[in-house]
Structure 1
Amino acid sequence: MKTLTIIDTFGFFFRNYYALPQLRNAQGFPTGLLTGFANFIYAIKNEHDTDYMLFALDSKGKNFRHDLDPSYKANRPEAPEDLKKQLPVAISWIEKMGFKCYQEEGFEADDIIASAVRFAKAHDIKVRIVTHDKDLYQLIDDGRVVIYDPMKKLEIDSEKCFEKFGVYPNKINEYLSLVGDVADNIPGVKGIGPKGAKKLLDDFETVENIYENLEKVANPRVKSMLEEGKEKAFLSKQLVRLDNSLRIDDTFESFYFPCENPLLNIADELEKYELRQMLARVKNGALHVKPKAETSMGFKAVLLDTAPALLGVIEKIEQGSIVAFDTETNALDAYNAKIVGFSFAFNEKEAYYVPIAHHYLGVGEQVSLADAKKALEMLLSHKIVGQNLKFDLAVIENNFGVSNVSLYGDTMLLAWLLNPESNVGLDTLAKRFFNYEMVKFKDVVAKGENFSHVEIEKACEYASEDAWMTLKLYHKLHEMLEPRLFEIAKEVEFPFIHTLMKMEKEGIQIDGAYFETLLKRTDGAIESLKTEIFALSEAHFNLNSTQQLGNVLFEQLGLPTIKKTKTGYSTDENVLQELLDKHPVIAKILEYRELYKLRSTYIEPLLKLSKESPKSRVHTSFIQTGTATGRLSSKDPNLQNIPVKTALGREVRGGFVAKEGYTLIGIDYSQIELRLLAHFSGDEAMVNAFREGKDIHQETALKLFGEAAAKQKRGIAKSINFGLLYGMGPKRLSETLGISTKEAKSYIESYFATFPTIKKYLTSIEEEAKKEGWVQTLLGRKRFFDFEHANAMQYAGYLREAVNTVFQGSAADLIKLCMNKIVNTLVNDEAKLLLQIHDELIFEVKAEHAEAFALEAKKIMEGIYTLRVPLHVSIAIGKNWGELK
């Protein structure tokens, strides 16, 4: 089925302008609309193949709607100057790129679109309409006609139309007749809103039926409004009617999408208006029709189910070969999973699968654990690459005792370094780089079963494909990754895999009795709070149901509505904070939520995990590719987000203890991100303050508020110092400090006036990010930002994230360097690294060696990298984690 894409041209251009209004080239000419247009053309061919493209334009004269109502569209405001400057350029691009516009005197773009839809449906052509015009929703016809939102990259069908308006497409004409449309000066019935219109149409179906049955309208106020607005309702219905009488048969083939790259035809214009990222794509031939995915495997999957066959293949592998390796297991927990088989590949023509522990009736021959171990020791002496090797190497160590494998590369990490924002799963990478559809796990393993139940022949195809694709990906990513990033992979990220494996294996001890007591106390506090909340609100309800809570707060108690969602009233934390002074129950609800979260997220799960472990130790899983900045994240359980600002959060940390005869040591970088700010910016005052060991927040307060007020306002200075690194503006600062936005703004302005070098440097990060499309950390890791495709909110967010990434990402670089070095030089049987909580490391060390170890670790951390300012760490020693702060 062929596809026609129709652009509601002026509406589309207006939308692009308001999405990216602040973009300009070096000459000051606005380019937001043009950028959005170029991005759309790029995306439409690469993401949504289309055979025809029609740009529908309004005619300049009047049409039948003006005869019906002279005030039709009369209240439209004058377009902004920057928009008017770009419109003629954008329209000229349509023709230059090889597309056709359609304009007819006496008709609007909507009528052209309706006529084109009628023609397309008659010729079995699917239609995608790019518009935000409510009128055009009446054209939606599932499977044949959809509305397309290019900003959200979303196709809107009948159900999504219903979600948006409460009526289906065949009722949009009736709906707009009642509610009107301010944009086009369509009056509708005064006083009838979306909910009222929906109810009337649910009851009576059409405007005509409403007026024929006016006496049946139960609400006297609604009935009165309908009586008064009858004339306007029928006028509105005529105004929103689409005229599909235009004949476009003779011109339709001229709308064919050009086979060549349309953007090549405006390369000089892209250069002129400085759309550099798009120009680079065009010059590199990035716009192309994607080839169809391969329908069969591009390699031979070989089953090695006997020891002689397995050892025979491994012996033939040339020394120094790169070998892709993958394991198959009966579970996802690497430290408890049993191996079922493994696969490997050393060329792109063949890949091998070795079955070890498949269990089902009639299972064929398999390789024994002893022979598998012998084969693995030989195989793993080669240059091993894998996808998420941390898992596979842990499985091998725990099943065979084979450890300290010298890994050569990890495709998951290479893909993450190439673009830390992207999905780095094997299936996704295969699709992205080779347009290859991998066999899905769910298609191989039946629900409720594990890989050991899969037939060996089927397992061979699935597992061999993983190894084969991993090898292809390794070569592809090695070729694509710039040398500096590949160097970071080899020197930092690959060795870091071993560091994390040692931490995960060690785990940290839990005091079960402590958590039992804490759980009982928390349950008691939760029950007390529930009693108070029910008394204050004079209602009994499910506190964990946002819908029920919303009804109590906003309907029964009559509190002012702050925000609504599709399902009802919003009761998120921001809403509750705004209502804090409106009713005493709000504070209690916030307290309840905090206690309930700590109980369900930490106290109860940690107690359960400690009971399941023979040594009462919990083993988190660290995720190396979990953030775009480079910070570690952790899961099962997540030990990096335990609150420290609340008393109960600190009490949770008190349940993590050192084993008998050992003590815990916490070593924490002091103000690492501010030191990085001083290093990067070179601000003289900040650099000197750090070099002289002064209190940076006190120094900032002195400069901002003078000696008399400095001590009192140190907290404000601290909030500003850290807030700027996270893109904090006046509104956020005012909320943090509990002051007016105006006062917060004056503080920020005063700060930048006092530290102009810092202001200049932070601005330079944003400018460089906009120009290049990326920022980089201390070691050279890059994070990319798609400013060209961003709407206004995303654009502002990207600027904040760009600044934050430089500092948070650089701090992550430093802590990784430290961890690798400490694990390789200081960690032994009597001293283990257990946890990393962003800028803090937690060790478990034999008590008599604790102080000496801490001083050695401190020396490494403070000397790991030479900055313009000294690095400084603080040391804490205690029997439990809570004592380390």
Structure 2
Amino acid sequence: MKKTITIIDTFGFLFRSYYALPPLRSNSGFPTGLLTGFMNFIAGIGKDFKTDYIVFALDAKGDTFRNELYSNYKAQRPDVPEDLLTQLPIAISWVEEMGFKIAIRTGYEADDMVASIAKDAVLKGLEVRIVSHDKDLYQLIDDKNSVYLFDPTKKQIINESKCIEKYGVLPSEFTDYQSLVGDTADNIPGVKGVGAKTAEALIKEFKNIENIYDNIEKIDKQRVKNLLLENKENAFLSKKLVTLKDDCHYIDNLEEFVLPSENPILKIASSLEKYDMHRVLDRVNKNGLSYKTELPQKQEDVKIEYILLNDETKLSLVINKIPRDSIVAFDTETTDIDTHKAKIVGFSFCFEENKAYYVPIAHNYLGVEKQISFEVAKKTIEILNRYKLVLQNFKYDWQIIKNNFDIDLKLYADTMILSWILDTDSKVGIDYQIKKYFNTDMIPFNDVVKKGENFSSVELEKATLYAAEDALMTLKLFNKQLEVFKEKKEEELLSIAFELEFNFIYVIASMEQKGIKVDVDLLAKYKDISSNFLNSLTSQIYELCGESFNINSPKQLGVILFEKLGLQSSKKTKTGYSTDESVLESLKNEHPVVPFLLKYREAFKLHSTYIEPLLELGLKDKDNRIFTSFLQTGTTTGRLSSKSPNLQNIPTFGANGVEIRKAFIAKKGYKLVGVDYSQIELRLLAHFSKDEALVEAFKNDLDIHLQTAIKIFGEEEAKNKRSIAKSINFGLLYGMGAKKLGDTLGISQKEAKFYIDSYFNAFKSVKDYLKSVEDKALENGYVKTLLNRKRFFDFQGASPLLRASYLREAVNTQFQGSAADLIKLAMIKIEQKYEHDENINMLLQIHDELIFEIKEEFIEEITKNIKNIMETIFILNVPLSVSLAVGDSWQDLK
């Protein structure tokens, strides 16, 4: 006698179960109707139908090959009720926890799994029972080979005669029948105008659609003939859509399909109790199941699991178990930290407290095990992208996924940004944060990747431990951070992260992707000029010193200056004499070689820090563009910083006629445009202090430095003293005292103090306001920017010197931080407006200035819009103002 395998059309059954039962709920209000129906079904196994083997076929999330064939496939299906969607992942997770075999594969539907298992089961001599109401599975009915459907509601077998009774065609003809009538539920087009009776008659006469079209002239009814001819393409497309794939799942080991030996319902007892499904448990405890089972073994305490998913079926199953509205931590592993070079090697994710998963894609070493294909990985990431993704340093992973898969990751939260928001002075790396909160050491990267290699050479087992830990710890850190924000009553700070900082990540990621073009020919010319200049200076220095030596060696230079030439040394360190810039400046008039050394230092820095690296980077890219990395968490004030290379520190002029900014150019047909907030920090001073004189000066668009000079020095001296007034204006924002101002202006401390006192007499509210910033910082332990971002200070136990430094930084943060807030708001709005516009690229942010590359014919229109956005982004007590400059190079934007 044949043994039987039962294949469950899981989603189809669960959907019917949801609609068949009343809307049951747990005591907490969670819907349980679908879950209850499912448990009733499990309890009936062995009673309603006898079986030796069982498997649950599941639809994989995301699109299937049918969507690729026909984009409108299932496009018009009504929205599924929220209660149903909420229960589905729980039911799926129960299937696995109960110990049943699951069949699932990315890109395919459950029906394809059913067809494939049924085909393989027949080859293995098994009788097949398919538990489903789905008419699409009628094509699999085969009396000869004992393949039948089983209706779980009516508890009856559906065989060939039942198919003929219902549809008038044989199961083997069913796909052709469907190709003609179509299916409104799945949006299968069929042949428009051909109904069930006509289709039945055509199939009875011609057997299949190929034969129908081969004999089209034999069809008597002209209307039917015309309909068939007009819809021929749709008929054959429909047949492809309804024909099930039978080659995507095999029974490798039949023993895996046997009924669970331990009572499956009791294995999930704690979950059933959680949802108040006590009746199910009571019934099973009292009556047992209809087939013989053992009591489940006691489960061990849950430990952290890092799971390798290099099998497509297991990957699909895990993805399908993720509950709706889950927060999912996500991380990538790559070949390089440079996003423009990096290739993805794998990715990890975590949505549970004690489990995280690693999906390998491109590990490359001798004997590497099976991995997930690029196509399946892409589909999986598309599905994960529908959840609330939490990442550590989202900007990096966004670029990796964009460059490798052309997918725009959607961020829910970035733990690195949250670490910085909570404490701008602290380290934001995940290793540091995990150690800080959980006293746990994470696996160091250098312990996993050997020197000179990259992550692709790491064995899968070791890679899983490292990568999955990153995902799990990211989720753990995020949950902890939410607690910290709540404990500290800093919900407003949290909202700043979600409403401003997270949106800003997309802006700088986009800027990093675009890069900026450099003139490699000009840089090559500069390299020659610079080399010759350095050689000339070197010769003159050697001649004046009477010998050659390594000018770049502080030790050798110290010996020459202070031992051979006998100059007076002011500083000496453990390693030798100090020869820093301040020392050389103090010796400028002591020996003729010193001015040459200062020139050499300036020229060498220009050559080694800018000319050579920029030329090398420019030559590496086919379009001669260089790409920087912007650091959102790189400063305590909130300003952006830049590295690899640092493009925020490019000098405006250089030695021997070398103008580095001239080498930064626009691409053909475009111009560079600089848009600069005018005196933004002074306007913020006027806004915060509400000083009448300052406010009026800005409202009337007066020269603020001249107005300051008039207030301090009077009308007659004002023009000559404007530069002094400018130094005072800006100096006060940075907490500059009389000594610093005196050193800056080259005047006595007494005179500098007189100027500052005169300033405060002229702008009475300013002094009080600046004092109030310091007082509030001392009282509260923080200072707030315009958008209420906070920078914290630990005054407790601080020395008088450190305390004074903190107070200066508090004032500085008030203005620099607020200016950073404004330009971030403006950049977000500009990026959102022009995100898909190829006529404009936002390239750089240099503190209060933005640099764009704009197509020449659109400059006037676009700059007008940008100016309007930047000047109206926030309403201050004084107007915001921007200046515009257009040129072929960065140098032209002066």
Q: TM-score, normalised by structure 2?
A: 0.64
Amino acid at match of 2:778: K
Distance 2:593 2:399 in 1: 50
Structure 1 counterpart of 2:352, from 347, 351, 357: 347
Query: In the TM superposition, what is the alpha-carbon distance from 1:581 to its structure 2 partner?
Result: 3.3
Q: Which residue in the other structure is 2:366 paired with?
A: 361
Q: Aligned match of 1:480 in 480, 484, 487? A: 484
What is residue 858 of structure 1 aligned with on the other side?
Answer: 867
The structure-2 alpha-carbon separation of the partners of 1:684 and 1:644, relative to structure 1 and needing over 3 Å to count, comes to same
Contact 1:834 1:843 (C-alpha < 8 Å) held by counterparts: yes
Partner of 1:332: 337
| Aligned 1:405-444 pairs, distance under 5 A | 405-444=409-448
* Alignment partners' CA distance in 1, 2:579 and 2:830: 46
Query: AA paired with 1:882?
Result: Q
1:40-119 mapped onto 2 (5 Å cutoff): none
Amino acid of the structure 2 residue aligned with 1:432: K
Shift of residue 579 of structure 1?
2.7
Confirm or deny: 8 A CA contact 1:598 1:649 kept in the other structure.
Answer: no
Instruction: Report the equivalent of 1:95.
Output: none
Give the residue type in structure 2 aligned to 1:332.
I
Q: 1:694 to 1:746 in 2, by over 3 A?
A: same
1:777 and 2:781 correspond: no
Question: Is 1:871 aligned to residue 880 of structure 2?
Answer: yes
Cα shift at 1:582 = 3.1
AA partner of residue 681 (structure 2): E
> Structure 1 residues 298, 857: CA separation in 2 closer, same or farther (over 3 Å shift)?
farther
Contact 2:652 2:660 (C-alpha < 8 Å) held by counterparts: no
1:302 and 2:307 equivalent?
yes
Tell me what 2:548 maps to.
540
Does residue 1:622 correspond to 2:630, yes or no?
yes
Q: AA paired with 1:551?
A: V
Q: Where does 1:144-223 land on structure 2 (aligned, <5 Å)?
A: none
**Residue of structure 1 equivalent to 2:90:** none
Cα shift at 1:534:
2.8
Q: Is the 8 A contact 1:303 1:354 kept in 2?
A: yes
**Candidates 441, 449, 452, aligned match of 1:448:** 452
Task: Say whether the 8 Å CA contact 2:706–2:719 is kept in structure 1.
Answer: yes
Task: Give deviations 1:670-729, integer Å, cap 9, x for gaps.
Answer: 111111111111111111111110000001111111111110110011011111111222
Instruction: Say if 2:713 is the partner of 1:705.
Output: yes
Read off the aligned partner of 2:362 and give its amino acid letter.
Answer: A
Shift of 1:842: 0.6
1:842 and 2:846 correspond: no
Q: CA RMSD in A?
A: 1.6
Taking the aligned partners of 2:302 and 2:519, their CA distance within structure 1 comes to 52
Which deviates more from structure 2 when the two are superposed, residues 697-706 or residues 579-588? 579-588
Aligned positions of 1:507-522 closer than 5 A: 507-522=515-530
Q: How far apart in 1 are the matches of 2:656 and 2:771? A: 40
Say if 1:647 and 1:688 are closer, same or farther in 2 by CA, change over 3 A. Answer: farther
Matched residue, 2:404? 399
Residue 790 of structure 1 aligns to which amino acid in structure 2?
A
Question: 1:188-211: per-residue Cα shift (whole Å, max 9, x none)?
Answer: xxxxxxxxxxxxxxxxxxxxxxxx
1:601 to 592, 609, 616: 609
Tell me the amino acid that sits aligned with residue 380 of structure 2. Answer: A
Matched, 1:743 2:747: no
Matched position secondary structure for 2:659: helix
Give how far 1:647 is off. Answer: 6.5
- 1:813 and 2:821 aligned: yes
* Counterpart selection for 2:474 from 443, 467, 470: 470
- The alignment partner of 2:685 has SS state of helix
User: Which segment is superposed worse, 743-752 or 704-713?
Assistant: 743-752
Cα deviation, 1:737-786, whole Å, max 9, x if unaligned, reads: 12222222222222223223111111111122122221111111111122
Structure 2 CA distance, aligned partners of 1:448 and 1:758? 57
Deviating more after overlay: 374-383 vs 649-658: 649-658
1:297/1:795 CA distance change after superposition, 3 Å: farther
| Alpha-carbon distance, 1:309 to partner | 1.3
Offset of 1:476 from its aligned partner? 1.2
Pair 1:510–1:648, CA change in 2 (3 A)? farther
Residue 650 and residue 532 in structure 1: after superposition, are their counterparts in 2 closer, same or farther (change >3 A)?
A: closer
Cα deviation, residue 297, structure 1: 11
What is the one-letter code of the residue matched to 2:703? D
Partner residue in 1 for 2:511: 503
Amino acid at match of 2:851: I
Determine helix, strand or coil for the equivalent of 1:397. Answer: helix
Deviation at residue 512 of structure 1 after TM alignment: 0.6
1:788 match: secondary structure: coil
Match of 1:831 in 2: 840
SS class of match (1:326): strand
Structure 1 residues 244-263: aligned runs within 5 Å? none
The answer (yes or no) to whether the contact 1:413–1:625 under 8 Å persists in 2 is yes
| 1:309-356 CA-partner distances (Å, limit 9, x unpaired) | 112111221221110000001111112201111000011121000011
2:526–2:658: 8 Å Cα contact kept in structure 1? no
1:460 and 2:464 correspond: yes
Matched, 1:321 2:329: no
- Where 1:341 maps in the other structure, the secondary structure is strand
Is this contact kept in 1: 2:845–2:851, CA < 8 A?
yes
Residues 603 and 655 in structure 2, CA contact (< 8 A), matched pair in contact too: no
What per-residue deviation string (whole Å, max 9, x for no partner) do you get for residues 586-626 of structure 1? 32222211111111111100100111101110011111111
Amino acid at match of 1:745: K
AA aligned opposite 1:327: T
Aligned partners of 1:681 and 1:758 also within 8 Å: yes
Report if the CA contact (8 A) 1:644-1:650 is conserved. Answer: no
Whether 1:716 aligns to 2:724 is: yes
Q: Any idea what SS the aligned residue of 1:438 has? A: coil
Among 802, 805, 817, the residue aligned to 1:797: 805
Q: Distance in 1 between matches of 2:720 and 2:513?
A: 47
CA distance in 2, matches of 1:677, 1:539: 56
Which residue of 1 is the match for residue 68 of structure 2? none
In 2, Cα distance between equivalents of 1:574 and 1:784: 33
8 Å Cα contact 2:356-2:469 kept in structure 1: yes
| Contact 1:302/1:353, CA 8 A, preserved across alignment | yes
Percent identity between matched residues is 56
5+ residue gaps, structure 2: 1-300
Q: Which moved more, 1:513-522 or 1:780-789?
A: 780-789
Q: How far has the Cα of 1:855 moved from its partner?
A: 1.1
Q: Tell me what 2:193 maps to.
A: none
For 1:845 and 1:576, the matched residues in 2 are separated by 45
Residue of structure 1 in register with 2:776 after alignment: 768
Q: Counterparts of 1:851 and 1:651 in 2: how far apart (Å)? A: 28
**Aligned equivalents of 1:757, 1:297: Cα separation in 2:** 63
Q: Is residue 2:672 matched to residue 1:677?
A: no
Matches of 1:357 and 1:826 in 2, distance apart? 35
CA deviations 1:1-55 (Å, max 9, x no partner) are xxxxxxxxxxxxxxxxxxxxxxxxxxxxxxxxxxxxxxxxxxxxxxxxxxxxxxx
Matched, 1:372 2:399: no
User: Equivalent residue for 1:612?
Assistant: 620
Cross-structure match for 1:127:
none
Shift of 1:585: 2.7
Q: How many residues align?
A: 589
Q: 1:824 to 1:570 in 2, by over 3 A?
A: same
Q: Distance in 1 between the 2:688 and 2:540 partners? A: 52
Output the CA distance in 1 between the equivalents of 2:657 and 2:313: 57
Q: Secondary structure at the match of 1:654?
A: helix
Task: Go from structure 1 to structure 2 and tell me whether the alpha carbon gap of 1:330 and 1:811 turns closer, same or farther (over 3 Å shift).
Answer: same
CA distance in 2, matches of 1:418, 1:590: 43
Give the match for residue 124 of structure 2: none
Please state whether the residue corresponding to 2:336 is helix, strand or coil.
coil
